[in-house]
Amino acid sequence: MRVSIWLVGRWLFLWACLGARLQAGDGACPVGLTRPDLNGSQYQLGPGTDAGIGFLSGFVQSYLNTVQPNPFPKELLLELINDAGTATIQDTVNKVLRYEVGFLVCAAIGVLYIVLMPLVGFFFACCRCCGNCGGHMYQEQTKSTGCQRRGLYWALLCITIITLAGNVCMFRSNQSLAFSVQNSLTQSDGTLDNLQTYLAAVPQDVGMVVNESVLAVDEVGSRVNDFGRLVGEDLQKDLGSTLNPALDTVRNISQAVNSTIQLLGQLNATQEELRPELDTLEANLTATRDSVNRTFQMPDCQDCVVLQPELAKLTLDTSFTVPQLSELQSTIDAVVEADLDSRLKKGEELLANLPERVTNDTEDTVQNVQAQLKDIKKDISQLHQDIPLNALEDVSAKLEEVRGYISTYTPEVELAGRRSWIVGLVLSCAVLLVVLCNVLGLLLGPVGLQPKADPTKRSGTANCGGTFLMAGVGFSFLFSWIFMIVVLVLFLVGGNVSTLVCEPWQSQQIFQIIDTPGLIPGFQLSEALGLKTNLTIAKVYDDCQHDRSLWTTLHLQEVINLNDLLNASKYTEQIQQALTQNDITLPTITLLSPEERAQLLRFSSRAGCLDFSSAQEQLNNISRINLNTTADDLDTLADRQSDAVVEGRLRDDAARLRRIQAQVEGSILPKVRDLSSVIQVLEDKALKVNRTMGSVLSRVDMAQDFLNGNSSQIVKSAIQTFLDCQERYFTAFAAWANRTITEQVGRCGPLAGAVDTAEVLVCSYLAASLNAFWFSLGWCAIFLIPSLILSVKLAKFYRRMKCSDAFEDHIQMNQFPRASLIAY
């Protein structure tokens, strides 16, 4: 037994070394599978208590308590079992006789009944044949004859009803006894099925827990295989919370630089496209101005002096420059050479490759842990064979042998049950025959009787009633002693079974007998299990009635410290040590070098120094050109000229101005507006870069300082997060294993149910039915005595007499001489 306990302890130790599957997890721990509870086996229902079977239990028990008022003889029973010497036999027999004195007195009364009833009947028959004991067919008529007849009639009627009630109880108890025998066979088979189911369920429960443990090992192995990925993802999360905003900041700077480069390119391209057209515009406008000026100088030009000031408007400054734009271009070129995009790409690749990098760094550690888990899995697989479950198989084989015996003797038991039912039915019918004779006598006698009639002239009906009463007397003498023999045998068997077996069984005193030290050699539960607590059968039975587990029922907590074995932190030490000692290093991450930071500051400074107002003013001057007004003035002036040559020259100059204006509006002004828009966007971008560059670089510096000072701590934190997750797995599995072992494995309710079923079958069915039958039969046998006495006396009031005797008006009629009377 101690070896078995050691194996159970080893088993629990290995359970505690396993990972567990959580029902739900947080963000750091993946969601696991739900651990199942043990499936309860399906058992057949017990017989229960049938009120129809124990309908006389109260009366019988009250009678037995009167016959046997002594308590259960525990000491006497132990003395009978333990004392084998001849020197104490006489003393023990005396104690047994004193204890059974009530049964002995009842047995003596029964023996007297058995002996006296046939003797009394024999002498009574002989006496009546000699004309005595009512055999002389003469009845004296007195004034109290009617009163006597009525008194005897009602007394016999009451006795007959009481006997009939007992006879009805006989029929019912006989049927209950037959039902009990048949039901006992059925319930015995069902009880054996329940025990077999329980014996099969215990290994299944053990196997389920072992299988769950193996699955837990496999899952822990898969989690360990994913150690690099899981830790890498945690590092991605932790580093990404700081690195991603910094990378986004650098990305924004790069985008601003690229956007500025694009705007400068658009500015240069537009300017290059606009420059030839402005030069052409300036040359055309200069030529037109010179032509108009020459026309104004002609002598025949009338009022030309008035428009001489308009010639000053026909000038255009096509020079277009943005101050310090070349310096901005040079700083941008320096930033471009720093290649911020490649720096961004390296940072992103670092984050993306963290799981793979950690997996490669921890490959050897993972293999070592997998080897440990493989050994544990091997031990678990072997453990199911090491647990001594063969004992349960031996018990199951014994139960099958018992089932075989029951199957073998079932036909004989059924035959005996049918025969006992037939015997009971015959006895019940014999009592019923006496009751019927009394009933017919009580019915026919009064119907045919004429109280004033001469006794020698009574009717045949009344005479027939008296004859039935005498027939009942004869049957009573004939059967009563047989009834009492049956009553005596069944009383001694059934009464002692009730007092010595059923009552102590129901009060659990019989378990106390079994628990007596030394009663069964080598049987001591506490010593066998190595317990300090005195474990008794009664306590085990009580726990099984509450369907408690074997752990609770057998007090295994005194042998195995389950809390210590299932201490999760105790068994996670090695894994923690192996994983925390693993060297995981992160590469140095440089967001911005000092040179790149200085270049960005110069870029921001140059962007803030740009003055786009003069450039915008130059573009606005070009946009404000309107040569159509001057052309209209030249046409008006031409209308006032008398010289056709002057008029023609003025009109030609006006048309040339309109063509120049159309060229400006169609080709130059759209490019000017585009150039103005680019300058406006570039100005906004430059101002934004200048305002935000300081705070952006500050955030980058803070992120860089955090990475430089906390990288190792981030790695340790990620590893610890994984270990905490696994410890929660261990803790959850330990809680499940603790609950399963202490509350579910081997719930022994079916064992108590089997004992209760046996008690119901033996006591509530068989013994109760048997006691009800002998009690009913004894009831009828006792009341046959007053029945036959009253029947003999009442029959003479109904039978036809041979000698006449009448009583009228208190005058006695003459009698025939007694010598002339003929005996009947």
Of these ranges, 370-384, 673-687, 727-741, 764-778, the one predicted with the greatest mean pLDDT is 764-778
| HEC secondary structure over 470-484 | HHHHHHHHHHHHHHH
Of 135-144, 150-159, 344-353, 394-403, the poorest mean pLDDT is in: 135-144
Residues 6+ apart with CB under 8 A from 428: 167, 170, 171, 174
Tell me: pLDDT of 566 over 90: no
Label residue 429 by pLDDT band (50, 70, 90).
very high
Label residue 316 by pLDDT band (50, 70, 90).
low
Burial class (CB in 10 A: 0-12, 13-18, 19+), 235: buried
Give residue 554's pLDDT: 78
Label residue 19 by pLDDT band (50, 70, 90).
very low
Percentage of residues in the chain having pLDDT higher than 90? 11
Query: Which pLDDT tens digit goes with each residue over 34-69?
Result: 566 665 566 665 565 554 566 778 888 888 888 888
Tell me: pLDDT of 396 over 90: no
Name the residue among 748, 721, 735 with its Cα closest to residue 234. Answer: 721
Q: Helix, strand, coil proportions of the chain in percent (round to 5)?
A: 80, 0, 20
Of 82-91, 160-169, 171-180, 188-197, the poorest mean pLDDT is in: 82-91
Tell me: pLDDT of 519 over 90: no
Which tops the pLDDT comparison, 820 or 207?
Answer: 207
Give residue 430's pLDDT: 93
**Euclidean distance between CA atoms 476 and 121, whole angstroms:** 9
DSSP 322-334: -TTHHHHHHHHHH
Label residue 389 by pLDDT band (50, 70, 90).
low
DSSP 178-243: HHHHHHHHHHHHHHHHHHHHHHHHHHHHHHHHHHHHHHHHHHHHHHHHTHHHHHHHHHHHHHHHHH
What ranges do the domains of the chain cover? 251-340+595-743
Q: State mean pLDDT over 566-586.
A: 61
Tell me: pLDDT of 454 over 90: no
Give residue 135's pLDDT: 58
**Continuous segment of H or E residues that includes residue 807:** strand 807-808
Label residue 573 by pLDDT band (50, 70, 90).
low
Give residue 89's pLDDT: 73
DSSP 741-783: HHHTTT--HHHHHHHHHHHIIIIIIIIHHHHHHHHHHHHHHHH
Tell me: pLDDT of 3 over 80: no
Q: State mean pLDDT over 590-615.
A: 69
Average model confidence (pLDDT) for the chain? Answer: 75
Label residue 821 by pLDDT band (50, 70, 90).
very low
Tell me: pLDDT of 162 over 90: yes
Query: Which pLDDT tens digit goes with each residue over 100-154?
Result: 888 899 999 999 999 999 998 888 888 877 767 665 555 666 676 778 888 889 9
Residue 749 CA neighbour count, 13 Å, CB half: 14
Tell me: pLDDT of 323 over 50: yes
**Euclidean distance between CA atoms 362 and 632, whole angstroms:** 89
Q: State mean pLDDT over 725-747.
A: 76
Q: Return the CA Rg of the chain.
A: 62
> Chain centroid to CA 63: how far?
51
**Euclidean distance between CA atoms 441 and 474, whole angstroms:** 13
Report the sign of the C-alpha dihedral through residues 210, 214, 216, 217, in that order: positive
Give residue 8's pLDDT: 39
Tell me: pLDDT of 425 over 50: yes
Query: Which pLDDT tens digit goes with each residue over 197-243?
Result: 888 877 777 777 777 777 777 777 777 777 777 777 777 777 777 77
Which tops the pLDDT comparison, 620 or 15?
Answer: 620
Q: Which residue type occupies 702?
A: M
Q: Which residue type occupies 124?
A: F
Which tops the pLDDT comparison, 427 or 626?
Answer: 427
Of 12-21, 720-729, 759-768, 791-800, the poorest mean pLDDT is in: 12-21
Which tops the pLDDT comparison, 805 or 651?
Answer: 651
Give residue 809's pLDDT: 44
**Euclidean distance between CA atoms 504 and 711, whole angstroms:** 77
Residues 6+ apart with CB under 8 A from 717: 234, 238
Distances (CA, A) of 377 to 14, 382, 422, 565: 9, 9, 66, 18
Tell me: pLDDT of 401 over 60: yes
Identify the residue whose tokens are 């002692």. Answer: 496
Alpha helix (H) residue ranges in 449-522: 460-497, 503-506, 509-514
Of these ranges, 1-10, 24-33, 115-124, 262-271, the one predicted with the greatest mean pLDDT is 115-124
**Euclidean distance between CA atoms 636 and 650, whole angstroms:** 9
Give residue 546's pLDDT: 85
pTM of the model: 0.64
Identify the residue whose tokens are 């204890």. Answer: 99
Q: What are phi and psi of 534, to 5 degrees?
A: -80, 95
Q: In this structure, how many other beta carbons lie within 10 angstroms of the beta carbon of residue 292?
A: 26
Q: Are 455 and 431 in contact (CB under 8 A)?
A: no
Give residue 324's pLDDT: 58
**Euclidean distance between CA atoms 607 and 588, whole angstroms:** 32
